[in-house]
Structure 1
């Protein structure tokens, strides 16, 4: 029975990691087309300008949402897991009501702060009106986040996967024609129309399962105080994360220029978004299950170790292929103008590997309701990446920024593993330690080859390292899921 449960658990993690990973892969294929076209149409400075506006939206959205898209999942998931329909309906209604309130607050906040945002962000021109026009996008994104939290908490995994795909398709269909017609002038209209379409798509799925019910009565809203308290901690942490991204881009824009911002954003997107498709299952499937466990340390350790194991085994071969193929992938996704970002992307790929180890641990304080610990850890992470990237860019340009991301990733790893061990009793099992060392050595070898050779030995070595990593991962995953059939 115990072995059967283990097989079911590994199979579940692999199934939904595969589901969201494959959907993310399809989304990325569509996104590649959009990114390529946008890069060709707008160029590095246009991509940098859009990056600054997107960073502003994320920062204000994270501020106004009060962390509800995450803290709301915890309550809804617990009620769903224990089949408490009355509590489930109550928390869904509460989350929707608060999402509407915070969306309106975020919109007002964006308008009020527009003059300050203009003076902080740009040292040329007056973009106050542009920041004011971002206000409806903040509200739409907040409502979308609340509905996605409901779908996550009630384990509507297939609709969530489809939404993630359709959102990218809509972004392609809407934004590219606008950019072709009006170039950089179309950036804000495209952001607004994309946000509106994504909200309509999300509520179309969510309302189908849970019809809209709202209450803005103060007595009702105050019932969400415990969720708000945890959410505020997440909000502050998210603000620090978004603020760190914002500060880094401001620093690059003032210390360098808008082209540097565009190149950095391209490299950041490639490593943190494209290479991170395996991580999409974590927030959608893993976090609700971790929240439902409660304070059971034994079950917690088993779930965390299995999630880390599957993430490592799936991600390592992809990162090796990604690292080896970067000279082709970078101009393919963007254009040859973005090749200066190559030196940044290569060390940042190594940071993505460390993220497979740390991201499952990031959710433990949230699942436990330990808001203060989560806030401290995320604050240290934000400070680390600002200092490391700023120092690296100042001394070695974009390549230094890439090494800064790697150094910040190492700092995250040591802080999170120490906190998880001392505060929550987490122990990484021996097999995960072995897998971590094995694949990291392969990644280091791939990086060494990628930065020292250019002839056919580069491609041959990269292909060999990929085959070794993929074969190893395939063998282990087959064993863990109980597949004893011969290898095809």
Structure 2
């Protein structure tokens, strides 16, 4: 029982910790965007966005997915208790990150004229890409350090460095925007990368000290890092495929319904990602390395996945209810009254987050076990299925149909990934998970039904009841007095 309570506490603490980090990052981003809009105008925002998009695209291709795959290797080595192996894996991750960074920097330097032409349609921004090539190296080194820190469970270091870097880069960037206007964009992007790396090194060196010196040939680094890089490449390709399919759907929607519908869809989709993505990102920071550390133990995998899914339900039930109740207000705050058409999309898509949470918890098993090819196959199947559902939903029901497709897609994906994990990896969800999942569905779907059919008072009661239920169950799981 103590082990279960300890795990529940870790999940909640890490979610709160990184939820706070995400909020700080979002706040800094909002302030920066707002001031850039005031001082540089729409043109400034556009230029900064295009520079960022172009360099991130190159980074995604040349980064070899080490930020994600490296976490697994570090976590397994950390769990083993073999300090020499642990230091050896850290060296492998750092060397491969350096190689990926140099590759990205060289590619950006060589393609600078083409990136300027493809991104801006002219040759006036070649110099900007030349200077930004250094950020490819810096960001790759950052990715390697973050993978090491996350994999070794030093989550507070990630949190502290993330907050410090966000605040300092904001403070240093504002004078650049004010005095140099558009000319301050490239230096501000470089400052953001350098700040992140410096604070990572500072907090990491301050908190983690090792007297073990590992000698490793470059040939050994290549051999030992091959599996990690292959997993990273599979993850990178899967991310690219998901992005490609989303692009195909948006292009088709634009041709069929016009740019306005694309804008409404993107507004709703981005709102979902911002609102719930914060929660999933925060939970994943601790869950992935924890699961990777027990990847060879079926019973431990089942225990951790069940507990993660349960905590996800307790966090999501109140947030789903609140968004359903106040979706009109949220849309007005983030956008304008013209975007009220997005309500139909949100109404039908928000309940799907419950099914996403379950499939998300199960899907990490593939990454924890290093099953890159299988992970890629599941992502392709999911992307094809979602594309087909989006086509059908939009064709017959417009934006509301896409919301239905979102929820239906995650129901089908939950069943699909569940069958794979049950049959191939022996996953057995706990009895308590099924009870929690059923009750969570009743609260969330009940709220959905009340709002759709305009039983507003009953919806408030259900949201209040769901919130009290979640808090009570969290209290029991954390053994604060009710759990016996």
- Report what 1:407 is aligned to: 408
Cα 1:337–1:66 shift into 2, 3 Å: same
Cα 1:402–1:482 shift into 2, 3 Å: same
CA distance in 1, matches of 2:225, 2:58: 22
- Report what 2:138 is aligned to: 140
Q: What is the CA-CA distance between 1:308 and the residue it aligns to?
A: 0.6
Q: What is the CA-CA distance between 1:444 and the residue it aligns to?
A: 2.6
Listed as ranges, the matches of 1:40-439 within 5 Å are 56-110=54-108, 125-126=121-122, 129=125, 132=129, 135-170=133-168, 172-173=170-171, 191-208=189-206, 209=208, 217-218=218-219, 220-248=221-249, 263-336=264-337, 338-389=339-390, 392-393=393-394, 397-439=398-440
Instruction: Determine if contact 2:14/2:285 at 8 Å carries over to the other structure.
Output: no
RMSD of aligned C-alpha atoms? 4.0
Cα 1:317–1:297 shift into 2, 3 Å: same
* Aligned residue among 16, 20, 37 for 2:18: 20
CA distance in 2, matches of 1:175, 1:256: 40
Cα 1:405–1:424 shift into 2, 3 Å: same
Q: What is the CA-CA distance between 1:417 and the residue it aligns to?
A: 1.0
- Structure whose alpha-carbon radius of gyration is higher: 2
Q: Which moved more, 1:219-228 or 1:23-32?
A: 23-32
Q: What is the CA-CA distance between 1:72 and the residue it aligns to?
A: 1.4
Q: What is the CA-CA distance between 1:325 and the residue it aligns to?
A: 1.6
- Report what 2:446 is aligned to: 445
- Report what 1:11 is aligned to: 9
Instruction: Determine if contact 1:312/1:436 at 8 Å carries over to the other structure.
Output: yes
Q: Which moved more, 1:342-351 or 1:30-39?
A: 30-39
SS of 2:351's equivalent in the other structure is helix
Cα 1:433–1:28 shift into 2, 3 Å: farther
CA distance in 1, matches of 2:459, 2:183: 42
1:465 correspondence with 2:466: no
CA distance in 2, matches of 1:140, 1:79: 25
Cα 1:60–1:400 shift into 2, 3 Å: farther
Long gaps (5+) in structure 2: none
SS of 1:447's equivalent in the other structure is helix
CA distance in 1, matches of 2:56, 2:190: 14
Instruction: Determine if contact 1:321/1:463 at 8 Å carries over to the other structure.
Output: no
Instruction: Determine if contact 1:144/1:203 at 8 Å carries over to the other structure.
Output: no
Q: Which moved more, 1:236-245 or 1:422-431?
A: 236-245
SS of 1:276's equivalent in the other structure is helix
Q: What is the CA-CA distance between 1:87 and the residue it aligns to?
A: 1.5
Q: What is the CA-CA distance between 1:207 and the residue it aligns to?
A: 4.3
SS of 2:472's equivalent in the other structure is helix
CA deviations on 1:429-456 (whole Å, 9 max, x unpaired) are 3322232232223323333444554xxx
CA distance in 2, matches of 1:293, 1:279: 21
Q: What is the CA-CA distance between 1:245 and the residue it aligns to?
A: 4.6
SS of 1:275's equivalent in the other structure is helix
Instruction: Determine if contact 2:97/2:141 at 8 Å carries over to the other structure.
Output: yes
Cα 1:119–1:59 shift into 2, 3 Å: same
- State the structure with bigger RCO (CA 8 A, min sep 6), 1 or 2: 1
SS of 2:153's equivalent in the other structure is coil
SS of 1:369's equivalent in the other structure is coil
1:476 correspondence with 2:473: yes
Q: Which moved more, 1:129-138 or 1:237-246?
A: 129-138
Instruction: Determine if contact 1:159/1:205 at 8 Å carries over to the other structure.
Output: yes
CA distance in 1, matches of 2:116, 2:256: 17
Cα 1:355–1:86 shift into 2, 3 Å: same
CA distance in 2, matches of 1:45, 1:384: 38
CA distance in 2, matches of 1:40, 1:349: 34
SS of 1:474's equivalent in the other structure is helix
Long gaps (5+) in structure 1: none
CA deviations on 1:26-68 (whole Å, 9 max, x unpaired) are 5445555556667889999997887676555544333222221
- Please report the TM-score for the alignment, with normalisation by the length of structure 1: 0.82
CA distance in 1, matches of 2:296, 2:393: 40
CA distance in 2, matches of 1:343, 1:187: 38
Instruction: Determine if contact 2:54/2:119 at 8 Å carries over to the other structure.
Output: no
Instruction: Determine if contact 2:303/2:430 at 8 Å carries over to the other structure.
Output: no
Cα 1:244–1:145 shift into 2, 3 Å: farther
Q: Which moved more, 1:392-401 or 1:152-161?
A: 392-401
CA distance in 1, matches of 2:355, 2:35: 31
CA deviations on 1:201-256 (whole Å, 9 max, x unpaired) are 33333344369999894554343222223222222223323444555555566666
Instruction: Determine if contact 2:87/2:214 at 8 Å carries over to the other structure.
Output: no
Q: Which moved more, 1:284-293 or 1:476-485?
A: 476-485
